[in-house]
């Protein structure tokens, strides 16, 4: 059938009050298919079809009224049109209403109503609505940030077959971000993601590499049901073809920890050195490798034990922003191990580690101030921190509170006033530590 014939037949049907024909003619004029683009004619046909209850016409007419400046005086009509289409079961209309109320440009912003409409659309498996719900909870757009809700909607997207969401859920279950940690679920979503992409013929994108790293780490975890060191090594080597640094670091880390066999531990040092030679000291991976190299020198793994090199590499790790490097170096200065004892330097480094959200650095500082300056503001902050941590189940925090004759079940102590000075920078919220 050619365009002329299609226009003729649709015109005859439209003249006979056929709602679908009127919608199609409106759509053809809307996009300029088989006819010249004509927005006015498009609106005329859409209005006729929408008046007969055609949901697609209601949606498209609403979009024109809501989005086009030359129809700005009719923007509010779009809401009525979409409400009618939504009542008819249109997920697109529900999503459009959600978008209007979350944006709040032509109607009053109403996040609660927006979420209600987005949720209705999402329940009909509308992917854009699902993505928008996850964004709202991730960014806190009109609501509180909620990683659990965000994860719920990402998983819903994954269940519809969307590959990127499958990868996201593999990472979330692996890290325990917004969901309880679960190795089995992490592997399930990782496997489904790779299967969807056609494994093993999968392009090594950034997301795919992240999934590979999850799978390799799971297979390199002793005691886990899927422990398979040989396959883990193969997968890490595959990763290094696309991401040399991250792949070699993770492989070396497992070598050093002995999870890929004691016979492979000596290979760790060489791989860590290979990575640090490739990256600048301000790159995050450099700091992680520098810390691991320090441990190799301390323990004599893959190289001779060398206390002087241990300190030098701890300094490099700390200077690169690695919290573990700063923490271990602080302990060395506090106890005078391989360096001259220096309490001020120990405090500076431990504070730096705590600023980098290392919980054990917070605890060390808390004990120090409670013991050495019990009446100070820092001790008050330390007590508040330890009580919160104790409530969360931290055994060390509970032990310290008993040591200083405090009951961890008491409500956390509130400071008299907020203090953003450097003196209190060692404190971080419990959940973020």
C-alpha 353/C-alpha 322 separation (Å) is: 8
Contact by Cβ (8 Å): 266, 243: no
At residue 65, the pLDDT reads 94
At residue 410, the pLDDT reads 59
Q: Which domain holds residue 394?
A: 365-433
Split at pLDDT 50, 70, 90, the class of 200 is confident
Residue 378 lies in a domain: yes
Closest CA to 80 of 97, 67, 95: 97
Looking from the CA of 263 toward its CB, the CA atoms found within 13 Å total 2
pLDDT surpassing 80 at residue 234: yes
At residue 203, the pLDDT reads 76
Residue 160 lies in a domain: no
Residue 383 lies in a domain: yes
pLDDT surpassing 60 at residue 216: yes
pLDDT surpassing 60 at residue 412: no
Residue 209 lies in a domain: no
C-alpha 200/C-alpha 102 separation (Å) is: 41
pLDDT surpassing 70 at residue 214: yes
Residue 394 lies in a domain: yes
pLDDT surpassing 50 at residue 419: no
Residue 407 lies in a domain: yes
Q: Buried b / exposed e across 393-417, counting CB within 10 Å, b at 16+?
A: ebebbbebbeeeebebeeeebeeee
- Name, in order, each residue with C-beta under 8 angstroms of 80's C-beta and a sequence gap of 6 or more: none
- Name, in order, each residue with C-beta under 8 angstroms of 238's C-beta and a sequence gap of 6 or more: 212, 247
Residue 404 lies in a domain: yes
Window from 51-60, 70-79, 180-189, 407-416 with minimum mean pLDDT: 407-416
CA distances, 69 to each of 64, 157, 266, 388 (Å): 9, 34, 69, 54
Split at pLDDT 50, 70, 90, the class of 3 is confident
pLDDT in tens, 333-385: 999 999 999 999 999 999 999 999 899 999 999 999 999 998 888 888 888 88
pLDDT surpassing 70 at residue 139: yes
At residue 383, the pLDDT reads 87
Whole-structure pTM value: 0.74
pLDDT in tens, 141-167: 989 999 999 999 999 999 999 999 999
The residue assigned the tokens 């990472």 is 171
Q: What angle do CA 340, 344, 348 make, to 5 degrees?
A: 110
When divided into structural domains, the chain yields a total of 1
Residue 422 lies in a domain: yes
To 10 degrees, what angle do helices 229-240 and 244-257 make? 150
pLDDT surpassing 60 at residue 430: no
């Amino acid at each position: 059938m050619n365009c002329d014939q299609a226009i003729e037949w649709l015109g005859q049907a439209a003249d006979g009050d056929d709602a679908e024909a009127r919608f199609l003619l409106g759509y053809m004029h809307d996009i300029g298919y088989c006819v010249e683009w004509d927005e006015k004619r498009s609106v005329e046909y859409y209005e006729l079809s929408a008046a007969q209850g055609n949901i697609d016409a209601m949606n498209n007419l609403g979009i024109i009224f809501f989005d086009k400046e030359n129809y700005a005086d009719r923007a509010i009509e779009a809401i009525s049109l979409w409400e009618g289409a939504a009542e008819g079961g249109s997920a697109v209309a529900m999503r459009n209403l959600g978008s209007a109320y979350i944006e709040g440009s032509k109607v009053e912003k109403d996040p609660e109503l927006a979420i209600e409409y987005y949720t209705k659309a999402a329940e009909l498996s509308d992917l854009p609505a699902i993505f928008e719900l996850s964004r709202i909870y991730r960014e806190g757009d009109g609501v509180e940030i909620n990683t659990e809700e965000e994860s719920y909607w990402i998983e819903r997207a994954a269940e519809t077959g969307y590959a990127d969401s499958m990868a996201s859920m593999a990472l979330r279950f692996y890290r325990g971000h917004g969901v309880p940690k679960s190795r089995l679920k992490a592997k399930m979503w990782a496997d489904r993601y790779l299967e969807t992409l056609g494994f093993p013929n999968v392009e090594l994108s950034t997301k795919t590499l992240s999934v590979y790293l999850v799978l390799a780490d799971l297979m390199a975890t002793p005691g886990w049901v899927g422990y398979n060191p040989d396959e883990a090594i193969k997968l890490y080597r595959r990763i290094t073809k696309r991401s040399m640094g991250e792949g070699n670091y993770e492989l070396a880390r497992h070598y050093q920890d002995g999870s890929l066999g004691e016979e492979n531990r000596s290979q760790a040092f060489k791989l860590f050195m290979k990575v640090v030679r490739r990256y600048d000291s301000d790159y995050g991976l450099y700091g992680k490798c520098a810390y691991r190299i320090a441990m190799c020198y301390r323990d004599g793994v893959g190289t001779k034990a060398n206390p002087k090199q241990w300190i030098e590499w701890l300094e490099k790790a700390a200077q690169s922003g690695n919290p573990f490097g700063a923490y271990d170096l602080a302990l060395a200065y506090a106890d005078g191990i391989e360096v001259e004892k220096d309490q001020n330097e120990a405090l500076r480094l431990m504070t730096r580690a705590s600023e980098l959200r290392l919980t054990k650095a917070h605890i060390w500082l808390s004990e120090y101030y409670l013991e050495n300056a019990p009446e100070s503001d820092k001790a008050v902050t330390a007590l508040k921190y330890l009580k919160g941590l104790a409530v969360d189940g931290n055994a060390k925090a509970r032990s310290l509170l008993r040591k200083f004759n405090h009951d961890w079940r008491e409500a956390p102590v509130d400071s008299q006033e907020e203090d953003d000075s450097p003196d209190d920078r060692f404190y971080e919220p419990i959940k973020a530590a």
